[in-house]
Structure 1
Amino acid sequence: MSRKAKFSFKAQWNRFCILTHEFFERQMNNDFTKMEEFKAKLEAIDTVADRIRFLTEDAIFSTAIPQFVDSYLPKEGTQKPRDDSADYDSLSVARRFIESDYNDNNYNKQIENYTKAISTLSMDTAPNENRRELCRLLTKRAELFYILKRYDECLDDINELKKYSISNDLDFLEEMASFCEETKAKSCFRELKPKHFEVKSESKLLESGMSDMQLVYNDIKGRFIRSTKFIPRGTIIAAENPFVAWLRPNLYDSYCNYCLVKLNSRYFYCKDCFKVKYCSSECMQEALASYHSIECSMVDVLKDWAMGHMSLRMAIVAGIEEAIEMEREEKIALKEWVNKEFKNDYSCIHSLCGESCLHDAYFTASTIGALMLAILAARMNLVKENTEDFYILAALLYKHIAQVYLNTYTVYDHNLRNTGYYGVICSSEKRKKVGVSLYATSSLFSHSCDNNCYKYYSGSKIILVSLRPIAAKEEITVNYGTSLAQNTLQTRRNFLNQNFSFECRCSACEVNAECVAYALICPHCKAALVVNEDQSNYCINCNRQNVETKNLDHAMKCAKKAFECAEGFAARGQIEKARLLYKRMAHFYSIYYFSSVRLSPIYDFIAQCYAARNKFYKAYKYKVKTEAMIDESYGFESLEMVALYAECASFLEKAANLSMFRKKKWQKKANFYYEEAFKLLTQLLRADFNIIEENKVSILKQLKI
């Protein structure tokens, strides 16, 4: 496996599943017949707890599973003493981190050492000497941030200092804070933290959800959420922190291990393991209180077990004894939750769909995985092995594995920032997969391939926003990773069946709605030739299947070659040559693709080439061609459409200024586009949430309301 594949999100998240599958196959000597016979024996047992007992009594697995778990545990003598040991002196440890760097002019290195020192002291509530040293270190680090013009981090340190109120430099710090605030206010983009996103009016029954929605139940769909009133486009439907979150292991150095916010140079280490980081002392305290104080000595084991780690963390956050007790209690019927308060706590999380929804392919491996996790919990002194509680916990962990598999959301780093323009938010085009989170209310939203809500993330906080107006009593839906706009019918069905064990019956799938945005042109009838993920294809008009696309593939190769050459010419400033190649690429795209959506970025490139040579009217002619494509991709009521109108107006205005004979005509047309942009923008700004890609912000800011 390549390094890139090894550290991919999919490889890291599926690590525990792969471990358990491979372990099972090794114990069965890769004998398919033996594996099927063992699966049949396991499936014949009624309860999960009894299946776990069966494994602990089996001649092979009773010794192999504990040995496998023990092979992952840290060896004796390799663990660092914790802060409650007698010989641990946090003040002397902190001083060791910084004493070698008092005369070092490498500011970043000094900041790193101050950060480690602060981490060892920040949780110390004991001696005053430690608190004074902590304030001194925070002041020094704030000064370094100020020198490096990292004003956000400087302000955070100053605010941290105010909690202690024992610094001798409070007046100086206030002046520094005032300057940082003024500089921040002038900044084009300001990072938005999770606390900035909230619903306007919170539901009394659905925590973190808006008040204009309700939980509904029927025998076919189970629980789902629908609106009680008309909901406008751009409304924040839910803004919810997770019950538990998992961070990708390769991002432990760059993201907060609690809230999944990207770290800057100001962070807090766990002072015991120094293997996890937090964005603030609050996050560190929350993590220690809810799970990290228990996980600390086992970080290296748990971070490698991904889905298993998250499943065990659910029980740790709930409290092992409380979770076991809840598993013993009689379950509340799903339909009875309709009138109950649904909060982000374990009793509600426990009610989410579980073990009965696991695929046959995952059944045996998940049972083995649950026993592995229970044994690990026993090694962590959370439960006594081979007791009644041990078997109940193992059964509960099996359910957690299923809940994690079926109810979690992949968290992206959307890098949401305030543009400073009428509350409009911008996000990065490249969105990294950061981790996985489990929510209470947000887990109740059903899937639709033609969803009416979209998911954004600020750290691990999920923000659900309405994509279009939602009628009263209409179901509120999200997509679970596949959609009508991006995927073919067959691809959508296969994805949902393989990953979530259900056949989609949303309004789009009921009428067999097909995605043609990326379809090819059928060589026989010129209609849409839909290409599935497995490369099979069919024509939606003449119904031919697996049509030969050799000639179309040749056109695409020519288009790719033209693009590569055009990029090279553009980089060297040879704009005219680049423009001709972009036009050639557009020609090949029109031969290859049925929809014009893929032509939009090419027309943008051509327009920019014309604009670079002061041929603004021709730039406008290509830019305006993208209107239908933006409508298809984003909808007419979108900031992308506003940006298009603004750019068209700008090109026309510049063309009018350079023309003697068409000045009035082109200026009149420019005014028309400005007016359309103003009208649409004014309408859109009434929404709670407006977002646009970063590269469109400068165009948008040309419009002053």
Structure 2
Amino acid sequence: MTTFLEDIGSLRRTLKAVFSDAGMGEDFVNCHVEWHLFTSWMEHIFTNAIKEFQLLPMDKYLEKFNRDLDYHEIMGLIFKDELLSNVVEILIAQNFKSIETEKFRKDLDKSRRYLSRSLKESQKDRLAEALDNINKALLFAPFPMDGVDHQSKSQLSFCLMTRAHLLRKLGHYNVCEKDLNDSMKYFALGKVNNYEKNIAAELLTLQDLKTPPTEAESVARRLVNLNPVSERIHGAVPYLSLSYEKNKGRIIITQNDIQKGTKLLVEEPFCTWLAPFLYSQYCFRCFNVLDNYFFPCRKCVLVRYCSSACEEESWKSYHSYECQYISFLRFLGAGHFALRCLSVDGLDESISLYRKSLQDKRKEPKLSRSFLNNYQDIFTLMSKDNNSAMLPKLAFLSKFIAHLACSMRLVQDGAVFDLSCLLLKQFGIGYLNSFFITDHGYNQLKLPGTSVDEDTAKEIGMGLYASASLISHSCDPNCEKYFICDKILILSRAPIEKGEEITISYGPNAVVHSYHQRQALLESTHGFKCSCKLCLKHE
């Protein structure tokens, strides 16, 4: 019998071959493989379980699930199936609980060994090797609250101080300053003594050595700075407003004439997912490129951050409950993302929101004049209307994730069913409204103009953005979307008249795809037939 890791490894190779045959680049392939990996594995488990345990053929079994059923009814069919429930229990017992976690935890002895190697390499003036070893020492260094004596409580601070000296020698004065500040911040017991006074004195000597932002960094800061901002549409300029069309739902229109190259929306994500093979290359929270500088997680050695501020924010938002289980969650892709989306405002709050929705069966909710970055508004987004063949498979996956959350002690047994219903809805919301986040290599951005070299762009993760999710598709859009770290940027690519709808491309566009190709792609990925001006002309 193969192990979970062996199954995942085999499936990863299969999916890579499938995506590679589509002619996509390596980064695209790797990101999409990790995103679909667990859902594909669960689909395989579900199909085999039905074939082995059900008396009905697969097509007959799937007939029970149709689009007229609501989430509660769909999950009811899955939960009533004792055999499927047993499969879920076995999967969690055999796989979730068998994944090694200790090897990804802090290790004081390892940290000390790497620190010693770094000091020796530094004495030989082999600075690159010294930096590599001190980075490893930092990864394994326990934070002060987990130390058992003064020496272990001070390990993180001493490693930061050591790296600061190396960074200074290498001429990286800005990040050297960050390490010195963090070293003082995390020094054991926080007492002011000669150690901290020395750091403070060293910080003063850096003031004249720090380098100003590069042109690329200045451009990026200007692009993500939007002022003033709408109070009604998260991250948008004030003259954008919500409207409603029967065949589209909510849309965003402009109340002003807009010139080409105008920033219309700069939005932080509601929730993100970073592809696991990039954990060491990008900040786990904001997707900033790490290069040779990072700040470690306080408990695990798998994820990294661009600063102590990002580490703290990530811990408060979601990583405090994920950290202990990240060695397993990193394989869950879309499942990990769905669970995290529900956890941003709190799982209990999200479940309560779902329960309240059951009491209100109105099919046409009252149109709100605002849309903000919270799950109450995210919950109202359209979800993909999956066909009867996919519904039970996603429902089975939702049941697994809900029971997994219970095993992680995130919810009580009594909330598992409602959580699974909410997860099923969230999968639909995510598939229809999320964006693959692209690293455009913003060091190539230039102003005036906002061009990027698309040949260097690579997909690094997934993000759900409240306002951007309301922007409709057009095969000849009037706006373009870009990403700077985890922020989405919407820029006008042509003049837009007052009252006109803001549009972007969801992928298919008239430049590279024929009418029939565009319709087929949009139907398969988003479940609708395009009726933009260009497509209506073709008809």
Q: TM-score, normalised by structure 1?
A: 0.65
Instruction: For residue 472 of structure 1, report the CA deviation from its aligned partner.
Output: 0.3
Counterpart residue identity of residue 358, structure 1: N
SS at match of 2:298: coil
Question: What is the 5 A alignment of 1:495-534?
Answer: 495-512=521-538
Return the match for 1:440 from 457, 466, 476: 466
Match of 2:398 in 1: 370
8 Å CA contact 1:324, 1:393 repeated in 2? yes
Deviations 1:113-168 (A, max 9, x none): 43355454667599998887655433332231232234553354356468679341
Deviations 1:50-99 (A, max 9, x none): 432332332431211221233321438x433999xxxx9x9877545413
> What is the rounded CA distance, in whole Å, between the counterparts of 2:525 and 2:501 in structure 1?
22
8 Å CA contact 1:256, 1:278 repeated in 2? yes
Instruction: For residue 23 of structure 1, report the CA deviation from its aligned partner.
Output: 1.6
Return the match for 1:451 from 477, 495, 498: 477
Counterpart residue identity of residue 383, structure 2: G
Distance change in 2, residues 1:71/1:391 (3 Å): same
Counterpart residue identity of residue 208, structure 2: S
Question: Structure 1 residue 310 and structure 2 residue 333: aligned?
Answer: no
8 Å CA contact 1:408, 1:443 repeated in 2? yes
Match of 1:429 in 2: 455
SS at match of 2:459: strand
Counterpart residue identity of residue 495, structure 1: L
Match of 2:205 in 1: 175
SS at match of 1:229: coil
Match of 2:431 in 1: 405
8 Å CA contact 2:15, 2:33 repeated in 1? no
> What is the rounded CA distance, in whole Å, between the counterparts of 2:218 and 2:135 in structure 1?
22
Instruction: For residue 242 of structure 1, report the CA deviation from its aligned partner.
Output: 0.8
Return the match for 1:207 from 234, 249, 270: 234
Q: Which runs of 5+ in 1 are unaligned?
A: 514-705
SS at match of 2:65: helix
Match of 1:667 in 2: none
Match of 1:115 in 2: 135
8 Å CA contact 2:338, 2:430 repeated in 1? yes
8 Å CA contact 1:9, 1:248 repeated in 2? yes
Counterpart residue identity of residue 66, structure 2: E
> What is the rounded CA distance, in whole Å, between the counterparts of 2:218 and 2:144 in structure 1?
27
> What is the rounded CA distance, in whole Å, between the counterparts of 1:53 and 1:449 in structure 2?
40
Distance change in 2, residues 1:163/1:269 (3 Å): closer
> What is the rounded CA distance, in whole Å, between the counterparts of 2:219 and 2:95 in structure 1?
39
Question: Structure 1 residue 246 and structure 2 residue 263: aligned?
Answer: no
8 Å CA contact 1:55, 1:61 repeated in 2? yes
Question: What is the 5 A alignment of 1:561-576?
Answer: none
> What is the rounded CA distance, in whole Å, between the counterparts of 2:286 and 2:221 in structure 1?
9
Deviations 1:624-678 (A, max 9, x none): xxxxxxxxxxxxxxxxxxxxxxxxxxxxxxxxxxxxxxxxxxxxxxxxxxxxxxx
8 Å CA contact 1:359, 1:501 repeated in 2? no
8 Å CA contact 2:143, 2:298 repeated in 1? no
Distance change in 2, residues 1:102/1:27 (3 Å): same
8 Å CA contact 1:223, 1:335 repeated in 2? no
> What is the rounded CA distance, in whole Å, between the counterparts of 1:333 and 1:159 in structure 2?
54
Query: Which structure's relative contact order is higher, taking Cα pairs within 8 Å and 6+ residues apart?
Result: 2
Q: Which runs of 5+ in 2 are unaligned?
A: 1-12, 20-28, 187-191
Deviations 1:444-468 (A, max 9, x none): 1011111111111111110111111
Match of 1:384 in 2: 412
Distance change in 2, residues 1:144/1:346 (3 Å): same
Instruction: For residue 222 of structure 1, report the CA deviation from its aligned partner.
Output: 0.8
> What is the rounded CA distance, in whole Å, between the counterparts of 1:170 and 1:365 in structure 2?
58
Counterpart residue identity of residue 342, structure 1: F
Indicate the larger mover: 304-313 or 292-301: 292-301
Match of 2:118 in 1: 101
Instruction: For residue 174 of structure 1, report the CA deviation from its aligned partner.
Output: 3.4
Indicate the larger mover: 499-508 or 284-293: 284-293
8 Å CA contact 1:21, 1:365 repeated in 2? yes
Match of 2:371 in 1: 342
> What is the rounded CA distance, in whole Å, between the counterparts of 1:192 and 1:282 in structure 2?
23
> What is the rounded CA distance, in whole Å, between the counterparts of 1:273 and 1:135 in structure 2?
17
8 Å CA contact 1:161, 1:167 repeated in 2? no
8 Å CA contact 1:418, 1:424 repeated in 2? no
> What is the rounded CA distance, in whole Å, between the counterparts of 2:301 and 2:408 in structure 1?
19
> What is the rounded CA distance, in whole Å, between the counterparts of 2:96 and 2:42 in structure 1?
17
Distance change in 2, residues 1:167/1:410 (3 Å): farther
Question: What is the 5 A alignment of 1:71-90?
Answer: 71-75=94-98, 78-80=100-102
Match of 2:164 in 1: 142
> What is the rounded CA distance, in whole Å, between the counterparts of 2:46 and 2:35 in structure 1?
19
SS at match of 2:77: helix
Match of 1:462 in 2: 488
8 Å CA contact 2:144, 2:156 repeated in 1? no
> What is the rounded CA distance, in whole Å, between the counterparts of 2:371 and 2:456 in structure 1?
34
Deviations 1:318-369 (A, max 9, x none): 2111111111114587653432x321111111111126x2233421211111
SS at match of 2:344: helix
Return the match for 1:352 from 356, 377, 381: 381
SS at match of 1:318: coil
Return the match for 2:514 from 488, 499, 508: 488
Match of 1:613 in 2: none
> What is the rounded CA distance, in whole Å, between the counterparts of 2:41 and 2:158 in structure 1?
48
Deviations 1:403-430 (A, max 9, x none): 1111000111011137786697755631
Distance change in 2, residues 1:179/1:191 (3 Å): same
Question: Structure 1 residue 257 and structure 2 residue 284: aligned?
Answer: yes
Match of 1:43 in 2: 66
SS at match of 1:54: helix
> What is the rounded CA distance, in whole Å, between the counterparts of 2:36 and 2:15 in structure 1?
16
Return the match for 2:176 from 137, 154, 157: 154
> What is the rounded CA distance, in whole Å, between the counterparts of 1:358 and 1:153 in structure 2?
48
Match of 1:671 in 2: none
Distance change in 2, residues 1:453/1:207 (3 Å): same
Counterpart residue identity of residue 284, structure 2: N
Distance change in 2, residues 1:412/1:420 (3 Å): closer
SS at match of 2:204: helix
SS at match of 1:259: coil
SS at match of 1:18: helix
Distance change in 2, residues 1:484/1:285 (3 Å): same
8 Å CA contact 1:45, 1:51 repeated in 2? no
Distance change in 2, residues 1:407/1:296 (3 Å): same
Counterpart residue identity of residue 255, structure 1: Y
Q: TM-score, normalised by structure 2?
A: 0.83
Instruction: For residue 25 of structure 1, report the CA deviation from its aligned partner.
Output: 1.7
8 Å CA contact 1:151, 1:180 repeated in 2? yes
How many residues are aligned here? 500
> What is the rounded CA distance, in whole Å, between the counterparts of 2:352 and 2:110 in structure 1?
42
Instruction: For residue 294 of structure 1, report the CA deviation from its aligned partner.
Output: 0.8
Give RMSD over aligned pairs.
Answer: 3.3
8 Å CA contact 1:414, 1:431 repeated in 2? yes
SS at match of 1:14: helix
Counterpart residue identity of residue 62, structure 2: K
Distance change in 2, residues 1:294/1:188 (3 Å): closer
SS at match of 1:429: helix
SS at match of 1:145: helix
Instruction: For residue 390 of structure 1, report the CA deviation from its aligned partner.
Output: 1.4
Deviations 1:548-575 (A, max 9, x none): xxxxxxxxxxxxxxxxxxxxxxxxxxxx
> What is the rounded CA distance, in whole Å, between the counterparts of 1:41 and 1:188 in structure 2?
60
